[in-house]
């Protein structure tokens, strides 16, 4: 985390200063570091890189002797020093374009206290923090104590994204500006409840822990799910003005592919239960195909009609429309590859492409295609801007097999149909081919699936 590219360019080349504690409690809540008036002059920007890791705004204070730097308890802990130790301090020169577009902050109490139960209004809190810490540098991982309506809290910077920086670049630091967008998160057991945070309400979905896939009857796919959400949904939580500042282009399409029977269709049916917004539209390739001329194209057009209407009427404010296309290979085979001479496939592929990648492309659509036969798909469909994120849904590993077995034997177990000597753990270690022998051995029906 230590100043990866915003290096110290101070003339002093990182002087060593003696650490003391902050002169008083009030100053401990400013997130500033304090030095003597004479020392302050050595920092032309008023910014110091401390312990090669954290950037603090410096202020002068008469109670701090020259050669010393006053840090609050949290700053000292993060710099891994105690009062009396020495620490390297150098002048920090901010690069150009150093304004933060977005900060996500984890909230906690400064002191753990039982039975706390506070509702924090995200809008009011964001306003106050922007004002209080205006033009201070925030670094990901940094912990900052603050006071809010008489209670002391600490926030930890989770993400710090600069304007013009895509979400995929490494997290780093920047200036908190008057229009930095702040998203708050609080652990469910923290006792803190964040209210009035409509725009980011769905960010909960992206936390790995939060998906209860087992409850949805999906086993062994949590890594894949996390990948899907990180790559396809994460950018959608941010409000439009933040998205345009970050320069994010939403992913419009993803492709889930892999061998048959690995749970793709199952995921298609369950994904809606994880989304906060509208229910996804789910169709499957063969069902959309029609033997009547032009009918298939119309079916495809109809799929997008709601999204089109909403984009027209609500523009940037439109909700996300998720369209799941199971067995997409049935209608999106390589153009020219079919011999029926009707060119139906060609025009369907074109139709899909105009909706997600054309001049009048929809920005409020996420198309999720699923297939067992990625090799059959029209290449054009898989390029960037189209079904660009490809996620392989493969055969489950041992842990996945165990989860799947548990899911499918749960009911039997509840109703005592599962003999107690069946060891799912052990079954999970077996691979293909060994199933039959075990089935006879343990007298279980050969495939519950
Ligand atoms: N990961 C999984 N977790 C739980 N059940 C699964 C899983 N994968 C497959 N199954 C079971 O197998 C059935 C067939 O899977 P399906 O989703 O149709 O596979 P695909 O669409 O990938 O060919 C599912 O309905 C489910 O009962
Ligand atoms: Mg399927």
Residue 85, domain extent: 15-91
Ion ligand 2, residues whose Cβ is below 5 A away: 264-265
Residue 260 beta carbon below 6 angstroms from any ligand 1 atom: yes
> Does residue 297 share a domain with residue 429?
no
Residue that terminates a domain, selected from 91, 113, 145: 91
Q: Which atom of ligand 1 is nearest to the CA of 403?
A: 3
Please say whether the beta carbons of 258 and 266 come within 8 A: no
> Does residue 402 share a domain with residue 388?
no
> Ligand 1, atom 14: nearest CA belongs to which residue?
261
> Does residue 177 share a domain with residue 138?
yes
Q: Is residue 351 part of a domain?
A: yes
Q: What is the pLDDT of residues 148-197, one digit of tens each?
A: 999 999 999 988 888 765 544 554 899 999 988 888 988 778 889 888 87
Residue 263 beta carbon below 6 angstroms from any ligand 1 atom: yes
Please say whether the beta carbons of 353 and 381 come within 8 A: yes
Q: How far is the CA of 235 from the centre of ligand 2 (A)?
A: 27
Q: How far is the CA of 257 from the centre of ligand 1 (A)?
A: 13
> Does residue 300 share a domain with residue 261?
yes
Q: Is residue 3 part of a domain?
A: no
> Does residue 409 share a domain with residue 357?
no
Please report which confidence band the pLDDT of residue 385 belongs to, taking 50, 70 and 90 as the band edges.
Answer: confident
pLDDT in the model for residue 272: 76
CATH number at residue 297: 3.40.50.300
Please say whether the beta carbons of 108 and 80 come within 8 A: no
Q: What is the pLDDT of residues 263-305, one digit of tens each?
A: 999 988 888 777 766 788 999 888 888 777 778 888 888 999 9
Q: Which atom of ligand 1 is nearest to the CA of 267?
A: 17
Q: Is residue 378 part of a domain?
A: yes
pTM above threshold 0.75: no
Residue 389 beta carbon below 6 angstroms from any ligand 1 atom: no
Please report which confidence band the pLDDT of residue 431 belongs to, taking 50, 70 and 90 as the band edges.
Answer: low
Q: Is residue 208 part of a domain?
A: no
DSSP class of residue 414 equals: H
Q: Which atom of ligand 1 is nearest to the CA of 407?
A: 4
CATH number at residue 160: 3.10.330.10
> Does residue 385 share a domain with residue 255?
yes
Please report which confidence band the pLDDT of residue 437 belongs to, taking 50, 70 and 90 as the band edges.
Answer: very low
Q: Is residue 158 part of a domain?
A: yes
pLDDT in the model for residue 327: 93
Q: How far is the CA of 254 from the centre of ligand 2 (A)?
A: 16
> Does residue 254 share a domain with residue 388?
yes
CATH number at residue 61: 2.40.40.20
> Does residue 170 share a domain with residue 295?
no
Residue 220 beta carbon below 6 angstroms from any ligand 1 atom: yes
Residue 349 beta carbon below 6 angstroms from any ligand 1 atom: no
Residue that terminates a domain, selected from 166, 196, 226: 196
> Does residue 408 share a domain with residue 363?
no
Q: Is residue 201 part of a domain?
A: no
Q: Determine the residue of 259, 262, 412 to mutate for testing ligand 1's pocket, defined as the one with the most ligand atoms within 8 A of the Cβ atom.
A: 262
Statement: residue 9 has pLDDT above 60: no
Residue 173 beta carbon below 6 angstroms from any ligand 1 atom: no
> Does residue 250 share a domain with residue 380?
yes
Q: Which two tokens stand for residue 264?
A: 């793709």
Q: Is residue 238 part of a domain?
A: no
d(CA 312, CA 436): 57
Residue that terminates a domain, selected from 196, 223, 254: 196
Q: How far is the CA of 264 from the centre of ligand 1 (A)?
A: 6
Q: Determine the residue of 214, 255, 263 to mutate for testing ligand 1's pocket, defined as the one with the most ligand atoms within 8 A of the Cβ atom.
A: 263
Q: Is residue 33 part of a domain?
A: yes
Please say whether the beta carbons of 81 and 51 come within 8 A: yes
As for how many domains the chain has, the answer is 4
Print the SS3 string covering 189-226: HHCEEEECCHHHHHHHHHCHHHCCCCCCCCCCCHHHHH
> Does residue 264 share a domain with residue 324?
yes
> Does residue 316 share a domain with residue 292?
yes
pLDDT in the model for residue 181: 84
Residue 259 beta carbon below 6 angstroms from any ligand 1 atom: no
Q: What is the mean pLDDT of residues 57-77?
A: 97
Q: Where are the alpha helices (H) located in 282-380, listed in sequence order?
A: 285-288, 295-314, 344-357
Distances (CA, A) of 389 to 253, 379, 381, 410: 7, 13, 11, 34
Residue whose C-alpha is closest to residue 137's, from 44, 64, 33: 33
Instruction: Work out the mean pLDDT of the chain and round it to a whole number.
Output: 82
């Amino acid at each position: 985390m230590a100043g990866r590219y915003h290096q110290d360019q101070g003339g002093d080349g990182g002087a060593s200063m003696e650490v003391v504690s902050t002169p008083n409690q009030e100053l401990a809540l400013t997130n500033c570091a304090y030095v003597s008036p004479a020392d302050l002059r050595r920092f032309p920007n008023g910014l110091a890189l401390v312990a090669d890791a954290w950037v603090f705004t410096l202020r002068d204070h008469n109670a701090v002797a020259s050669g010393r730097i006053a840090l609050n308890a949290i700053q000292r802990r993060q710099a891994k020093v105690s009062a009396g130790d020495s620490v390297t301090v150098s002048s920090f020169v901010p690069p150009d374009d150093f304004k933060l577009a977005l900060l996500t902050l984890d909230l906690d109490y400064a002191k753990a206290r039982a039975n706390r139960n506070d509702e924090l209004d995200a809008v009011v809190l964001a306003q106050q923090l922007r004002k209080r810490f205006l033009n201070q540098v925030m670094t990901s991982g940094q912990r900052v104590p603050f006071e809010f309506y008489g209670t002391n809290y600490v926030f930890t910077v989770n993400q710090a994204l600069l304007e013009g920086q895509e979400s995929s670049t490494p997290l780093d630091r920047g200036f908190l500006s008057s229009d930095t967008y702040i998203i708050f998160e609080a652990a469910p057991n923290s006792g803190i409840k964040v209210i009035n945070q409509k725009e980011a309400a769905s960010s909960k979905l992206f936390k790995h822990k939060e998906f209860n896939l087992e409850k949805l009857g999906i086993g062994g796919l949590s890594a894949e799910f996390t990948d899907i959400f990180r790559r396809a949904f994460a950018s959608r939580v941010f409000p439009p003005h933040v998205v345009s500042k970050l320069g994010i282009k939403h992913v419009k399409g993803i492709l889930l592919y892999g061998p048959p029977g690995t749970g793709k269709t199952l995921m298609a049916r369950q994904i809606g239960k994880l989304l906060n917004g509208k229910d996804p539209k789910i169709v499957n390739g063969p069902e959309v195909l029609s033997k009547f001329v032009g009918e298939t194209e119309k079916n495809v057009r109809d799929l997008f009609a709601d999204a089109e209407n909403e984009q027209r009427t609500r523009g940037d404010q439109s909700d996300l429309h998720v369209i799941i296309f199971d067995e997409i290979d049935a209608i999106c085979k390589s153009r020219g590859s079919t011999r029926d001479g009707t060119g139906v496939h060609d025009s369907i592929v074109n139709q899909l492409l105009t909706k997600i990648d054309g001049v009048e492309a929809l920005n409020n659509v996420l198309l999720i295609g699923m297939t067992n036969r990625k090799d059959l798909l029209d290449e054009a469909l898989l390029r960037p801007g189209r079904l660009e994120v490809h996620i392989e849904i493969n055969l489950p590993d041992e842990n996945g097999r165990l989860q799947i077995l548990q899911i499918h034997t749960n009911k039997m177990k509840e109703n005592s149909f599962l003999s107690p000597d069946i060891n799912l753990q052990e079954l999970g270690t077996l691979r293909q081919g060994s199933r039959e022998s075990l089935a006879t051995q343990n007298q279980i029906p050969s495939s519950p699936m």
